[in-house]
Amino acid sequence: MADRVLDKAGPGRQRRLPAFLDHFTPRDLKIFFRCWVAVWVASLLIFINPVASNFGQATFFACMVLFMLPPSGVLFVYILGSLSLFVGICLAWAWGVIALKAALAARPDADTQARLAALQQAAAAEAQETGESVSSIAQRLVYNGWMLDARVTSILFCMMCLFIYFMARLRAANPKTALTSIFGIIIADLFLCYGPVLPSFNGNLPLSLVKPAAAGVGLGVACSILFFPRSSSDIIREGMEDLLELLKSSLQFSHSSLGKSEDPDLKDLQNRRTKIIEQYRLLEPSFAFLPLDFHIGSWGPEAVGTFREPVRHLVAAILALADFHKGTAESRMYAQQLRESSIKDSESDLDEKKERKVGVHHRSQLAELVNQLQYTERHSINESIANQLTDLSGKAMETCLEGLSVISECVQFVGRQRWYHKAPPARHEELFQQTKTVLQDLQQTRTAFLAEMTQALLDAYGPALDNFNQGENNRAAHLAGIILCMNFQEHMSNAMDKTEVLLDRISSVFPHASRTRFFVPTSLKYAGRWLLGRKNKAPNMAPTSENLDDPNEAPEGDATQAAQEKLRVRRGYRPRARHPLGRAILGIYHWLTSDEGMFALRMVVVTIAVAISAVLPNTAGFFYRERGFWALIMAQTGLLVYMADFTFSVLARVIGTIAGGVLGLVAWYIGSGHGPGNPYGLSAAMAVLLVIFLWIRLYSPPVFLQGAIMSAATFLLVVAYSYVDTHTPAYGQPGVGYQVFWRRLLLVLIGIGAATIVQMLPRPPSAARHICNSLSRSLRTLSDHYALLLSCWGRAGDEGKTISEPIWLELTESLVLLEGPIFNLRFEFSSSRFDSASLGQVKQICHAINGLLSRLLVASASLPQSYKDRLASHMGMLDHRCIGEIMAVLGVAEQSLRTGDAPPEILPTPLVRRALEYSHAHHMDRPVLSAEMIRDEDYRRYCVALAAYVSFLGQIDGLVLVIKGVLGEAHLVSRELVDLV
């Protein structure tokens, strides 16, 4: 009957557009319009002759920069992104000038003058024969490699490849430096490909790209100021609106489940949870940018900053309620699967010829335990109080939903306050009074909910509790239902309390919403920390595979590391240090052979492999005429750290190139027909077709980002090169229309081919191995959390409550980042036995363990010492043998994920069974439950802690089964011995 109270019969869903297309809100359309204006104006520069003459053939690069860095966020963040772009350009420019100077100095002046004299003679002789100008012939001979010298080439290649190596490492190590690395490498490629062929030093080589890039950034800044400017406060306010809607949706999902008996859609539950976490991840970085904020509005950075803690607490509370709801459904379904599996295994044991399944002993013990506990629907909650609990819970959820709605209304009201438009004072006063009323309702409803639900449990189970200890059947029939209801009662009460706290905070600053003021930055220190720090994210920073935690580094968050360090200091513990020489050698080795090091080495190899044809006498002219420079860029940007991402990227790039080329041909032939290209017609065609590419760039999932940029780049190249060829023809231009398209497609395929060969050698960088290592480190972090729990449980204080939410959120966010790479594993050919499905199961178990340990840490601070001692002695929580068994199983699981070795057949599992055996062996005479205990608020928290601890052990048991199902079992023993365990 618990399932009737706490599970879901899915409500009818409203049909909506796909997430990719569902961006027609006023806010999204304003952002899109701002970006579209910037991109379209940048594309117009291609057709303005004075600008095109000054910028050169790469005028379209301004538009490409805006696709890579669209002005879709806060002005100051956009400026920081632009600065990171120009840092890469300036570093590459400065290093390129130094390298070119050094390389040209290696060739004696006499040799240089001799080669120049021979060039003049050859050009004059050919001019007499063909009638062409001497300058054009000399230019062609230069680009054909007339001035090439092995000494100049070797020095320039060595110095520029060293720069490219460090830029590639920078990109792999810190995702915020992606623009710095990419543009630095592009500028370095200019010196690498064209520096050796030039007759003399030319330090202005990058100007052909720097001017358009600066124009694009300038347009982005101008549009960020002129068209619907946004501040960090606006992003937080809008993010809170979206987050509150998701929290309301999650709560409504639980509300609709009351009184239903159908199985819930676990995938829907997980998707809702993931959306809430992702939205919170987008919201959290904006709080750090508040000191940098220029803002016109009612709430300043200081007022908005006070929402940070209440919002985090509210997210944690409602997610805990959703996780509890999900856990009850999973437990019932898992118990049913164990029973069915036990029946099949018992039948297969009768047939000796049938193969024995992996983990059959573990599953049989779990099935036996489930049967002993009699976990069935009819034993969960008494039918007589099901409807009463449904009504009480429904009223509490409705009040909580009303509180969230009022908070959302207040935030929206403040968002509509502008210096040119203000709401009537009467509406402000009405909404303010509504916050006070709902706040009072929340307080009264929460108090009534706790009292009435406790009384309902007493009325239903009071007579049975008097004889609770008179038989095992009586114990199993009532204990599960009572504890389940008290758990739900505590989670619902906590959700209402956190809603009340946030509403109270909103109410305290809402009186200031009647005035509009201008706020200026109060501190610029964070800007530098953001640029240098790897973990500091920017608002709306999209998750990619590049900002995953390095599995070779500790993935614990700052809170976990601080707590562990405090324990080490308190105990005076320090590990034995290696010899400095050995530590230095190992550090250098790991630095060179890490994922970042191998990625940078591959970048250098593919650079040399493709760029070498630009500096060979027989191929230099071909490289210049066919625009091999773009093939080099395709090969470099095509390389990725892990193979699964690379495979998906190849597909996205090819499809994006073809789609962009086709639309580029459509734009060219619509705007010019068979003529030389009408700038007005082309401008109109660009205005329409750029909408498609910009929509894909802004609103497609992050995994499609490279394909979106590639399609836009091909579209721009087809139109721009065709227009340049018909208006300002020059040596080496690719042609018009279709000729540009097929040459571009060929260059992309060459670059992808080169990148594929280098990516595969000497061994493909497996994303499955990386994810296994990341999950292994996550398990190690969970072991640290478990150790922190044990340390906090044994002494008084609120340290556990203080660190519970930070460490829970830190690990939750890192696990959410793995969802995209785990999805991409289906595109990888890997030798790892873990696939996308199994790693997804491990990730979900890590999520569950993380949440359960967080609840226990909170309980370590909120429970009286007597109840903590009761739980510890009842379940063996602080028993050294039990702790050792749990740590051993977690350690074996961690090692199996890292190495791929099968775990032993016999382990101290199931841990749930061992804990219950400990309880029966030590405390059979102690009453587990009484009517007086139900009235005790501390006992309700005790029930939450008890259920969390048992679920924690159960999740570890499930983790062992998942790993054994993938890797099998090692160190097998005879069947007779197994049956004795």
Give per-residue pLDDT as tens, 722-736.
888 887 777 767 778
Mean pLDDT of 69-79: 86
682, 629 contact by CB (below 8 A): no
85, 180 contact by CB (below 8 A): yes
User: pLDDT, tens digit, for every residue of 904-918?
Assistant: 888 887 888 888 778
Q: What's the pLDDT band for 141 if we cut at 50, 70, 90?
A: confident
Structural domains in the chain, sorted by start: 26-107+149-227+604-638+643-760 (no CATH), 231-516 (1.20.58.220), 543-573+766-980 (1.20.58)
- Residue 162, pLDDT > 90, answer yes
Q: What's the pLDDT band for 342 if we cut at 50, 70, 90?
A: low
Helices 472-509, 383-416: crossing angle, 10 deg rounding: 20
User: What whole-number distance in Å separates Cα of residue 196 and Cα of residue 190?
Assistant: 10
- Residue 783, pLDDT > 60, answer yes
Q: Is the backbone peptide bond immediately before 264 cis, with ω within 30 degrees of 0? A: no
- Residue 526, pLDDT > 70, answer no
* % residues pLDDT > 90 (the chain): 14
pLDDT score of 353: 46
User: What whole-number distance in Å separates Cα of residue 429 and Cα of residue 651?
Assistant: 57
H or E segment and range at residue 430: helix 425-466
pLDDT score of 628: 86
314 or 391, which is more confident: 314
User: pLDDT, tens digit, for every residue of 273-310?
Assistant: 888 888 888 887 788 777 777 777 777 778 888 888 89
Mean pLDDT of 19-23: 76
- Residue 245, pLDDT > 80, answer yes
User: pLDDT, tens digit, for every residue of 84-99?
Assistant: 899 999 999 999 999 9
734, 725 contact by CB (below 8 A): yes
824, 768 contact by CB (below 8 A): no
- Residue 356, pLDDT > 60, answer no
Mean pLDDT of 867-891: 87
- Residue 766, pLDDT > 80, answer no
pLDDT score of 6: 40
Mean pLDDT of 592-609: 88
Length of the chain: 981
534: closest CA among 525, 546, 522?
A: 546
pLDDT score of 4: 39
User: pLDDT, tens digit, for every residue of 554-589?
Assistant: 444 555 555 555 555 455 455 667 778 888 888 888
In this structure, what DSSP letter does residue 619 have? T
Structure tokens at 833: 């036995």
233, 301 contact by CB (below 8 A): yes
Structure tokens at 894: 């961690």
**Which residues are CB-contacts of 578 (< 8 A; sequence separation ≥ 6)?**
586
292: closest CA among 539, 30, 535, 508?
A: 539
pLDDT score of 594: 81
- Residue 713, pLDDT > 70, answer yes
Identify the bridge partners of residue 297 per DSSP, sorted by sequence position. 517
Buried b (16+ CB within 10 A) or exposed e, 692-713: ebbbbbbbeeebbbbbbbbbbb
Instruction: Give the range among 4-8, 249-253, 842-846 with minimum mean pLDDT.
Output: 4-8
pLDDT score of 452: 84
Q: What's the pLDDT band for 195 if we cut at 50, 70, 90?
A: confident
Q: Is the backbone peptide bond immediately before 108 cis, with ω within 30 degrees of 0? A: no
pLDDT score of 309: 87
pLDDT score of 939: 81
Mean pLDDT of 374-389: 57
User: What whole-number distance in Å separates Cα of residue 375 and Cα of residue 380?
Assistant: 7
SS3 of residue 71 by DSSP? coil
Buried b (16+ CB within 10 A) or exposed e, 891-904: ebbbebbbebebbe
- Residue 364, pLDDT > 80, answer no
pLDDT score of 41: 94
- Residue 419, pLDDT > 80, answer no
User: What whole-number distance in Å separates Cα of residue 564 and Cα of residue 574?
Assistant: 12
H or E segment and range at residue 517: strand 517-519
pLDDT score of 538: 54
Mean pLDDT of 789-813: 77
- Tokens 């749930």 belong to 912
pLDDT score of 551: 40
User: pLDDT, tens digit, for every residue of 613-672?
Assistant: 988 888 888 888 888 888 999 999 888 877 777 888 888 889 999 999 999 999 988 888
Q: How many Cβ atoms sit within 10 Å of the Cβ of residue 10?
A: 14
Q: What's the pLDDT band for 67 if we cut at 50, 70, 90?
A: very high
User: pLDDT, tens digit, for every residue of 144-153?
Assistant: 888 888 899 9
Q: What's the pLDDT band for 376 if we cut at 50, 70, 90?
A: very low
Instruction: Give the range among 69-73, 797-801, 885-889 with minimum mean pLDDT.
Output: 797-801
- Tokens 């720069």 belong to 163
Q: What's the pLDDT band for 43 if we cut at 50, 70, 90?
A: very high
544, 175 contact by CB (below 8 A): yes
Average pLDDT of the chain is 79
Q: What's the pLDDT band for 1 if we cut at 50, 70, 90?
A: very low
Q: How many Cβ atoms sit within 10 Å of the Cβ of residue 915?
A: 23
